Amino acid sequence: MDMREFSYGIEIETVGRTREAVARAIQTVVGGEVRYLGAPQAFDPWQVTDNQGRIWKVVKDASLNNVPEHLRAEIVSPILNYGDMEALQQVIRAVRAGGARVDATTAIHIHVGAEPFDGRSLSRLAKLVYKQEPLILTALGIRQERLSRYTKPMSPDFIAKLERYRPCTKDQLNRIWYGQRNTCPQHYDSTRYYGVNFHNVWYRGTVEFRWFEGTLHAGKVKSYVQFVLALAAKGLNGRAASSRKREFKPESAKYDFRVFLLHLGLIGDEFKTARKHLLSAMPGDAAFKRGRPQPKPQTTEMANVTVLEG
């Protein structure tokens, strides 16, 4: 399955503008009608029904506690496909132009449809992430506060159980994820706060990637979506995945992560911007594993020859 065939959705947290203002900014791109729902009161939602009949929501999020409640606005997209990428970017630009912004409390969550996966392929995805996590977390610049609370790294105990029990079905994986069979997952289950959240596989039918710091940079958001779609495709299509944790080496990190991105299929001009943004925070040199070679210093004799020849 090609990465472009996956469905996805995105949640983008913003501050500084009312939920109505953000909803009307979205409408300028997707058309349709804006409506105030008001219920459930905890989320105080506004809704945009676009020209295709799809629903974009703008809701309140209690975690955005640096601003008054009426200036907290989380955008929840409808189910999107790869062809919607340009429209998504236009929505982000319109919301930013309307005065919304991000701060230290805001984040982005990306959901990928879990329907194509079974227990084996979800296990491959988990092990793929676990192995490369030192690179991924550095590349995305995730703050320690978020890592310790809202987007925890993959659990070594979970990975060990995957290796031991080798689940074939989602039901078998369910028992490993929760520690028992959970037939009625609740929204605020404690297992949801991982960078790769498998709780949502059974709660709403998606794999949720919670890694991303808040941004209204349309190019970065596109890069993040492409990255998780490529990860999902590698987990689904791969034959095997090692769970041996990669050692993080600052001198080769940028090179190692570039090779990983190419291994995921993010090759060519289509993904040039994604590679640029995803590599920008990495130490090292993208072209040289051990750092860019330094020119050899000239000896005194060679320096004198150069002067004479000049």
Under 8 Å between Cβ of 214 and 199: no
Beta strands (DSSP E) in the chain are: 8-15, 33-36, 46-49, 55-59, 72-76, 107-113, 196-197, 206-213
Residues in contact with 54: Cβ distance below 8 Å, sequence separation at least 6, in sequence order: 30, 78, 79
pTM of the predicted model as reported, rounded to 2 decimal places: 0.93
pLDDT band at 290 (very low <50, low <70, confident <90, very high): confident
**Section 229-240 average pLDDT:** 95
Q: pLDDT for 163-211, tens place per residue?
A: 999 999 999 999 999 999 999 999 999 999 999 999 999 999 999 999 9
Residue 304 pLDDT more than 70? no
Least Cα distance to 11 among 110, 82, 103, 102 occurs for: 110
Question: What pairs with residue 74 in β-bridges?
Answer: 13, 59
Question: What pairs with residue 72 in β-bridges?
Answer: 15
pLDDT band at 298 (very low <50, low <70, confident <90, very high): low
Which own/partner pairs from 220-225 qualify as long-range (CB within 8 Å, at least 24 positions apart)?
220/277, 221/10, 221/12, 221/88, 221/89, 221/92, 221/108, 222/85, 222/88, 222/89, 222/273, 222/274, 223/273, 223/274, 223/276, 223/277, 223/278, 224/108, 224/110, 225/8, 225/10, 225/85, 225/88, 225/110
Q: pLDDT for 131-174, tens place per residue?
A: 999 999 999 999 999 999 999 999 999 999 999 999 999 999 99
